[in-house]
A and B are shown apart, each in its own frame.
Chain A
């Protein structure tokens, strides 16, 4: 009578499939996109560096050892400065690796906070509509009308340079954009029958937003989050370059580039190394986003 393929005996109680195998299946899909795989590899490399930084045999990133050493020069203690030293004599390899930890932590934290705020605003504007939508959309449009860099500079100069303030600045700059994407997705999803079914069950607006709607918006949001992580890395580096980022002397890629600029070709590697590190990480995020989008467009 039924059009089912498999018929389990009615008495048996099936077991849930393992969550791990599902996760691996999703990761397996990424294999189909070489671009995405390469991006993921770049990101994984920097994440590994950031995590392993305390364990690696590195010089203290803050200690002045010998200034202006070229790549591969011998260190006073018998070791090697693989990537040379900067004008204060600090080991560039060590500073780049410790810098990756800082940039990854703050970029991720800022993006997560921006996403929480943006998703909240977007779902409220999209699902509740009416005055909520009018007010939230208006505020977002005001924020979006500022050029991003000017917004950053204003916020950091007002609040002072610190990691927390970077999070606040990134949230102000990114949340309106995220809100727009989420709002658009929710406006489409809210007309689905399963939302109608939840409404007729008398579910609260919060339940519908968080359980029925947002999980289904995740596809485009994951792609956007990858891109946005890349932008945030740029933003943090730019703030560092402008002297508005994380306060020195902690290693920061933007700051390292800034400090090396006046030295010019005299110590080019001091500028090139952090610049390459920065580009590779951003490239990684962009390529991963491209790869994910490519996969999601298939089937």
Chain B
């Protein structure tokens, strides 16, 4: 590969932003070389400078950003010295960029076809007819079914996945030499993401386009890239080929990242996540020497905190593996395998929640003339269709599904913000499904509390942290003594490992992870028997998410709380939960213990979901199942099995027309499907996690080992 001329070279690139506080160096001393057809991954947590690099390559840093040193060579020409005209010719034709939010990248008032045609019409001297033909062809290339419909559709008429395909098509249209992708799948559902990831992986083969793929998700990087750059606080700390870096990580921060993600080998009791201590330094408060040393377990005073550490070549490994650490040769990397100290497991107690054939339908009134003429003015949105499951004291039950599957509706009914249409939700002996929150007693309300998804929304910005927690105590206990309430809030802050003076802070003075900790303190302030956590860590950075996840399980262990964990991310779910409920379009497709769900027999939807979740372990083998089509609208679901429109194992008419039966594969393991159990039992496992012995024999690599004690 190295005999080719590189598409892009960054040499000693430094980028700064100028703000009220003065100059803030966002990226320091960044080197990167991209060859044709190569896919480079940039991975790191928010604020590490990965998007800034992409913007610098596009020469689009805004008014307050600037390149302070180094050069960006695009096919040998220095982009930092180009005029605006030259840059405009490059952008969109030679370099294209794809952003996170597909809807925001498309002009909502123009048909997709016209937007696509603009690209060749602007950059090349061709007729409209040729442009239209090119646009249509590229839509076929990105595997959009029915390209003619898409050409004439406005962006809002397409689903999120289709929109992102159009955006990628637009990027590819002028056959660029370099494609920048900034978190292109973060806004999409998992099964849709899997399709886009496959498309991105195919692009470099088909078009020979070099790509720079920016993501916070190591699993996605593994699936799409050839080489990976790990960034921390504005600089690259480690780079190498996928194989080399994932098998032999050499930087303590990379080790830390692997310790923070719930790999299949992690287990909440035997091998829990190991969050990185401390937090990312602000760009103007970076420590001297190695930027990571205050958070590093291997830091040695006098060596790590002295001068800026240069990149060093890792000897004895695959080519081009470089690391920015003075002690990489001294650290015992085998002891760095993921998995912290084992923690005691909790024995599930008595049954606390029983959901019995709970249904929730929303009435929708259609006042269109057509509806009135046909007499069908009232429609029902079936948000929850006959839910059945139980939860025990101290148990973690996960509800898994993509957007629109009804998991949030269920949470609303459980919390009393909506009432159920039919069936019962029994907490203890009382049926709560028909009791709105205002009709419940203080004990019933305080028994159920919730942790929310969005850290920036979970706290009221107008009130201090302390007063928001104190309000819960005041409502749910008889305590009136202000001093005692304050003392209790201080204790709660201790429990969630926040300093006590956060009592007087405003939410805007807190980071995302800190806000989420306050949210957890608030949920546990009334000593709830059950906590519903709605994607509590999905908006957080990897290392912060690990710390919050561990905090949640520790408090749960302490209080023997039942945790209902709502999520779309099966890797976190596998790590955290004792049993799993898989939902799709309001139906429970499958439920059982975590082991039962992750092993055959599977419901075909579970199978696809398992395959869609990226796993950051190169030795885990995964069967690839990419779903066709989109999630059907809840307004107009399929008549029979909800999954019949996308199911790769559809057996025929019966799937389309008849609701699937519940089949009990094992005690507590229920699969809702028409396919006979015998047939489902023969399905191969989707994920194969090699045992430690297999790992030793194949690669000789000690990482990742599930048992750190044995490895050291």
Contacts and interface: CB of A to CB of B under 8 A. Distances in A.
A193 B500 contact: no
Contacts of B497: 1-2, 4
A202 B438 contact: yes
Interface residues of B, number: 49
B550 A200 contact: no
B78 to A, nearest CB: 34
A200 B448 contact: yes
A61 B416 CA distance: 65
Nearest to B493: A10
A262 interface: no
Nearest to B279: A3
Contacts of A5: 278-279
Contacts of A57: none
B35 interface: no
Interface residues of A, number: 29
B462 A216 contact: yes
B475 interface: yes
Contact of B275 (A1, A7, A14): A1
Given A4-B498, A12-B500, A200 B462 contact: no
A14 B500 contact: yes
Nearest to A204: B438
A14 B503 contact: yes
Contact of B462 (A6, A13, A215): A215
A14 B277 CA distance: 24
Contact of A4 (B437, B438, B463, B499): B499
Nearest to A2: B497
A200 B279 contact: no
Interface stretch (B79-87, B153-161, B450-458, B671-679): B450-458
Contact of A196 (B417, B498, B543): B417
A202 B442 contact: yes
A1 B550 contact: yes
Contact of B415 (A192, A200, A212): A200
Contacts of A194: 457-460, 468
Interface in A2-59: 2-8, 10, 12-14, 16-17
A29 to B, nearest CB: 11
A193 B453 contact: yes
B547 A197 contact: no
Contact of B437 (A13, A199, A211): A199
Contact of B440 (A2, A17, A193, A202): A202
B511 interface: yes
Interface of B: 275, 277-279, 415-417, 437-438, 440, 442, 445, 448-450, 452-454, 457-463, 468, 471-472, 475-476, 490, 494, 497-501, 503-504, 511, 513-514, 517, 522, 543-544, 547, 550-551
Interchain residue pairs A-B with the least CB separation, the first 3:
A215-B462, A14-B501, A3-B279
Interface of A: 1-8, 10, 12-14, 16-17, 192-194, 196-197, 199-203, 211-212, 215-216, 218
18 contacts: A2-B497, A2-B551, A3-B511, A3-B513, A3-B543, A4-B497, A4-B499, A8-B501, A10-B494, A193-B458, A194-B458, A197-B458, A199-B415, A200-B417, A215-B460, A215-B463, A216-B460, A218-B462
Given A16-B504, A201-B476, 14 more contacts: A1-B275, A1-B547, A3-B513, A4-B279, A5-B279, A8-B501, A14-B504, A193-B458, A196-B452, A199-B437, A200-B417, A202-B437, A211-B463, A215-B460
